[in-house]
Amino acid sequence: MVASTIKAEEEASLDLEEEVNSSSYLGFHNSQMFEAGMSFSGFERNKTWINAGGTFVDLSNVSGADTPNDSRAVIAHDFDDDGDVDLFVHSIQRERHALYRNDAVQPGADGAGFVKVKLRATTGQYEAIGATVHVDAAGAKTAQVLSRGAGFITCQAPELVFGLGTASSARIEVLWPGGGRESFGEVAAGSRVLLVQGSGKAEPYGAHPRPLPDPLPPGLLVDEGELLGDLRVLDAEGRETVLSFAELADKKPLYVNLWASFCSSCVKELPDLAALDDGGEARVVAISVDAPEDRERAKSVFAKGGGSLRSFYLGAAEADGARRFEDLLDLARLAIPTTLVLSPEGRVEAILRGPLRDAAR
């Protein structure tokens, strides 16, 4: 974050200055580029690996932590306090902050599988930054250094989490800053302990679970159960229009199909969607997510397979207080085709991925 009072030199040759975070600064600065989702670094993707018994397995894709954003910092911490380490990632574009809940390892119902450690030094600095904590869990030894800065503009939480696997307890030793090794004896799996320098005794502290909600579906900024209000789009002639889902539904389930002219499986199912609409049991509208410059191509593709389906396009102008359809979408992540199944009132009842005939909820 940049303080709003800082003056930045915009362009030396023009002798221009302006306040950081002013609207004109956002308009002219690199931030405009990042707002648009562009990359300085060629969209280097984030990677995640899991230690599978001495071999590291690439979980980037299935973990959900893979992203085209350029990330600048990561904090590993047990944010929901369930005993495993979650990740907070700061990126420079688009949704800048992502909190990844760790579902890869399920701690036992009895809370076993980990030990959490906080430190308090009684000599030198209070937080014991630089202390090394050694944990021996049934012969499996590991160590961590307490750090309070381990990434770009990043501060680690002063709590260390050790995975114990199936061990029922662990021996803990601390190498304090400035020297001095101290044993804190055997601690049961599932413990959270404060280790005070010189006490030789592990003091338990309580758990503070903070369950993290499920994320939104990838590519969508809406979820099942939400009522969609009116949204602005363009019609086939490029005129601004307001979609009223309740009206479009005509008291029937409404399928809102997101497609694009470059997506062959989308184009292939347009006749099926038209038949579904014609059948009368449900209503269907098609919304092309093609870029504005491809709208003409999308129109000609649609004309061949879309039949009598009502079709709309993204690209309505931004206006205060009136949402556009693209405000529901994260286009860089949206897999198409995707179909929103709405109730006659316009509530999202299901999100279907892939062509309807093989879509799974």
Please report, as ranges, the residues that interact with Ca ion according to CB under 5 A: 78, 80, 82, 84, 86, 102
Q: What letter would DSSP give residue 44? A: P
Q: Considering the complex, state which of residue 111 and residue 354 has its C-beta at the smaller distance from Ca ion.
A: 111
Q: Which of 320, 315, 261, 258 is nearest to 284 (CA)?
A: 258
Minimal distance, residue 48 CB to Ca ion, in Å: 14
The Cα–Cα gap between 361 and 351 comes to 6
Nearer to Ca ion by Cβ, of 70 and 84: the residue is 84
Cβ closer to Ca ion: 93 or 102? 102
Element (H, E) at 340: strand 338-342
Which token pair is 77?
A: 């911490």
Q: Minimum distance from CB of 114 to Ca ion (Å)?
A: 9
Q: Give the shortest CB-52-to-Ca ion separation in angstroms.
A: 17
Q: Running DSSP on this structure, what letter comes out for residue 224?
A: T
Give min distance, CB of 231 to Ca ion, in A.
Answer: 35
99/359 with CB nearer Ca ion: 99
CB of 353 to Ca ion, least distance (A): 25
Distance CA 302, CA 292 (A): 15
Residue among 43, 152, 38 nearest 90 (CA):
152
Q: Are 233 and 227 in contact (CB under 8 A)?
A: no
Q: Which residue, 78 or 269, has its beta carbon nearer to Ca ion?
A: 78
> Closest distance between Ca ion and the C-beta of residue 218, in Å?
19
Of 150 and 332, CB closest to Ca ion: 150
How many CA atoms lie within 13 Å of 253's alpha carbon, on the beta-carbon side? 13
Q: How many residues does the chain have?
A: 361
CA distance 330 to 307: 28
